[in-house]
């Protein structure tokens, strides 16, 4: 969703303690499950493999240009975080990435900043095409929003191409108070991370639907073994 990545400053490359309390298991819209956890430096190969399975269209939506592969600098940037001003989360199934989300704290001019002088961050997602429509991005948005609030961030901004209607819908349906503008062919979204009655209701409704479908899958197996059948 955002243009090609900026290079991190030395301050943003400092590593803090791995935040294990951000790990969570979630039930998706179709009743399947995924694990959400912070991305670490050990995830380089997982990230490369994940990116290889994303369509050219989805890569274009993410970077606003053809971006067939991640460079070594990209991989380093997307797997090295300080867990304060720069955070990346992955949704995994069977230990492999199916989606990622990240935020980078910025100042009012859109430049990288630190927690001492900024409560704004740019957020960007990428979901493997095979897993789109399962509610993965919505679950990641809820988690990255909670992480951001914990780190003193109060607002997210995102830039989305108008054709990327799925991602625009993820932001719109989240229920946060938001502002939208259109400039230079890009939709600019800004929204407060303070929970609203609507955002809380959306989260509870999503969890209820997901849990119901998960129960349905348990009660309605795809095949039945008949005892005594030849």
b/e map of 156-194 (b: 16 or more CB within 10 Å)? bbbbbbeebeebbebbeebbbebeeeeeeebbebebebe
CATH number for the domain including 196?
Answer: 3.40.630.30
- How many domains are there within the chain? 1
pLDDT at 125 over 90: yes
Structure-block tokens of residue 51: 């990116």
CA 126 to CA 83: how far, in whole Å?
19
Compare 9 and 45 and report the one with higher pLDDT.
Answer: 45
**DSSP code, position 27:** E
Q: Which of 1-5, 145-149, 173-177 has the lowest mean pLDDT?
A: 1-5
| 194 phi/psi in degrees, rounded to 5 | -65, 125
* CA pair distance 205, 143, nearest whole angstrom: 16
Is 53 part of any domain? yes
Could you tell me if residue 94 is left (phi over 0), alpha (psi between -120 and 50 degrees) or otherwise beta?
Answer: left
Q: Is residue 200 part of a domain?
A: yes
Residue 228 falls within a domain, yes or no?
A: no
* pLDDT at residue 8, rounded to an integer: 38
The answer to whether position 1 is within a domain reads: no
Give CA–CA dist 99/228, Å, rounded.
44
Long-range contact set of residues 223-228: C-beta below 8 Å, sequence gap at least 24: none
Domain contains 51: yes
Q: Could you read off the pLDDT of 68-78 as tens digits, one per residue?
A: 999 999 999 99
Give pLDDT tens digits for 35-51.
999 999 999 999 999 99
**Domain residue limits at 127:** 11-216
Instruction: Let me know if residue 161 belongs to a domain.
Output: yes
Q: Is residue 40 part of a domain?
A: yes
Q: Can you give the pLDDT at residue 198?
A: 64
Q: Phi then psi for 120, rounded to 5 degrees?
A: -120, 145
Task: From residue 54, give the alpha-carbon distance in Å to each of 47, 57, 99, 126, 181.
Answer: 11, 8, 10, 8, 28
Is 100 among the domain residues? yes
Q: Please, are residues 91 and 73 in contact by the beta-carbon 8 Å criterion?
A: no
**How high is the mean pLDDT of the chain?**
84
């Amino acid at each position: 969703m955002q243009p090609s990545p900026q290079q991190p400053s030395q301050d943003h490359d400092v590593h803090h303690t791995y935040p294990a309390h951000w790990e969570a298991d979630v039930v998706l819209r179709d009743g399947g499950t995924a694990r959400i956890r912070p991305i670490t430096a050990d995830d380089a190969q997982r990230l490369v493999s994940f990116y290889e399975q994303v369509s050219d269209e989805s890569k274009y939506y993410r970077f606003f240009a053809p971006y067939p592969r991640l460079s070594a600098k990209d991989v380093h940037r997307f797997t090295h975080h300080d867990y304060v001003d720069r955070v990346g989360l992955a949704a995994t199934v069977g230990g492999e990435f199916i989606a990622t989300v990240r935020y980078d704290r910025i100042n009012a001019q859109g430049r990288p900043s630190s927690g001492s002088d900024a409560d704004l961050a740019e957020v960007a997602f990428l979901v493997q095409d095979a897993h789109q429509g399962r509610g993965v991005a919505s679950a990641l948005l809820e988690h990255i929003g909670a992480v951001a609030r914990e780190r003193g961030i109060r607002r997210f901004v995102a830039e989305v191409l108008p054709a990327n209607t799925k991602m625009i819908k993820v932001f719109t349906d989240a229920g946060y108070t938001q502002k939208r503008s259109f400039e230079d062919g890009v939709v600019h979204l800004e929204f407060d991370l303070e929970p609203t009655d609507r955002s809380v209701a959306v989260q509870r409704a999503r969890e209820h639907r997901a849990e119901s479908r998960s129960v349905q899958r348990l009660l309605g197996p795809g095949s039945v073994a008949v005892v005594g059948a030849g």
